[in-house]
Amino acid sequence: MKRKIEYNVPDGYFESLRTKLSAIPAQEERPSRMQKFTPYLALAACFAIAVLIGNLALDRTSSSSASDEEIIEYLVNSDITLAQIEDFIITNQ
Amino acid sequence: MLEQEFRDIVEQYSEQLYWHIRGMVNSHDDTDDILQDVFVKAWKALPSFRGDSAVSTWLWRIATNEALGFMRRQKLRAALRLQSLDSEAERVIDSDPWFNGDEAQRRIAKAVAGLPPKQRAVFCMRWIEELPYEEISSITGTSVGALKASYHLAAEKVKVAVQEDD
């Protein structure tokens, strides 16, 4: 089929892709009874992360600081939005 | 039983989902990473999939959300590095060894990459995949009217961007 934008893939890619994806059930935890505990585990994890970040923040004030790249990756993987960052910059300028 | 169902889904939809994601994010390597995450999510959510929508709609919804998340992070990363998202998108397209299009297609791909993430997703589903608006509506949860408006706005922007490059 002629595509509107012609992209290419490496030779044999889709065969190896199917093999790789079919292996997911063997690698991932079986989605079963654990699922009903997931919200509680997530809550506990959030609490642990908050404590961890707090500790790291305290440590960092007295020792080395995070690099710009580390801070960027932390923010990128958080739920923060560009609009929230812009608001922060505007209100703190 | 569940494993077999999952393998059938991989067999039937992995290639189509690859092209769905590739249209939105351009890079082969990024598409490969996102696709892996999509199928991990699908595997985890499979027991709770009740068949309220078609399997394809359910999968396209997961894939679209994953791609939108990727585009959001890409945009945020570019902003925090004080880079232009457009120039970053151009660099991705120009440096991708798996981009096979001619110069006109390259210009279109760059113009599409410059669209805001949600508009890009709608444009790709409509223009590249030629999905009906009703199907895109089921995937995105957006009304058909809003999708038509979004698509026409996106198409206009792409047209202007391509003409500016001429």
Q: Which residues of B touch A20 (CB under 8 A)?
A: 36
Inspect the interface and report whether the beta carbons of B77 and A35 lie closer than 8 Å: no
Residues forming a β-bridge with B99: A7
Domain containing B86 equals: 2-165
Number of domains in chain B: 1
* Residue A61 phi, psi (nearest 5): -70, -25
**Interatomic CA distance for residues B166 and B157, integer angstroms:** 15
Mark yes or no for CB contact B105/A4 under 8 Å.
yes
pLDDT the model gives residue A55:
60
* CA-based nearest distance A21→chain B, Å: 7
pLDDT band at B93 (very low <50, low <70, confident <90, very high): confident
Q: Per the confidence metrics, is the pTM higher than 0.90?
A: no
Mutate to test the interface with B, among A7, A34, A82 (most CBs of B within 10 A): A7
ipTM: 0.84
Task: Look at residue A33 in the predicted model and tell me its pLDDT.
Answer: 47
Three-state SS annotation for A30-71: CCCHHHHHHHHHHHHHHHHHHHHHHHHHHHHHHCCCCCHHHH
Supply the pLDDT for residue A31.
56
pLDDT on residue A79: 73
Domain ranges, ordered by start, for chain A = 33-91
Q: How many other CB atoms are there within 10 angstroms of residue B45's CB atom?
A: 13
* Segment (H or E) for A74: helix A68-76
The reply to whether residue B18 touches residue A25, judged by beta carbons under 8 angstroms, is no
B99-156 per-position pLDDT tens digit: 888 888 888 998 999 899 999 999 999 999 999 999 999 999 999 999 999 999 999 9
For B77-92, b/e burial (b = at least 16 CB within 10 A) is bbbbeeeebeebbbeb
d(CA B59, CA A73): 28
Q: Which of A33, A38, A32, A27 is nearest to B40 (CA)?
A: A27
User: Tell me: the pLDDT tens digits for B60-86?
Assistant: 999 999 999 999 888 888 788 777 767
CA distance B129 to chain A (A): 9
Nearest to B38 by CA among B8, B17, B12, B11: B17
- CB B133: neighbour CB atoms within 10 A? 18
How many angstroms separate the CA of residue B83 from the nearest CA in chain A? 13
Could you list the pLDDT tens digit for every one of the 93 residues in chain A?
A: 567 788 889 999 999 999 999 999 998 876 554 555 556 556 665 555 565 566 666 665 555 567 777 777 888 788 777 777 777 777 766
State the pLDDT at residue A74.
Answer: 81
Whether residues B79 and A82 touch (CB distance < 8 A) is answered with yes
CA dihedral of residues B153, B62, B135, B32 (deg, nearest 10): 70
Residues A35, B14: C-beta atoms closer than 8 Å: no
Rounded to whole angstroms, the Cα distance separating A72 from B66 reads 20
Chain A neighbors of B27, CB-CB under 8 A:
none
Q: Interior CA angle at B66 toward B55 and B63, to 5°? A: 25
Q: Which of B17-31, B124-138, B152-166 has the lowest mean pLDDT?
A: B152-166
Give the 3-state secondary structure of residue A2: coil
**Contact between A85 and B79 using a beta-carbon 8 Å cutoff:** yes
CA pair distance B36, B30, nearest whole angstrom: 10
Scanning the structure block, which residue is given the tokens 């999510």? B41
What is the CATH classification number for the domain harbouring B115? 1.10.1740.10
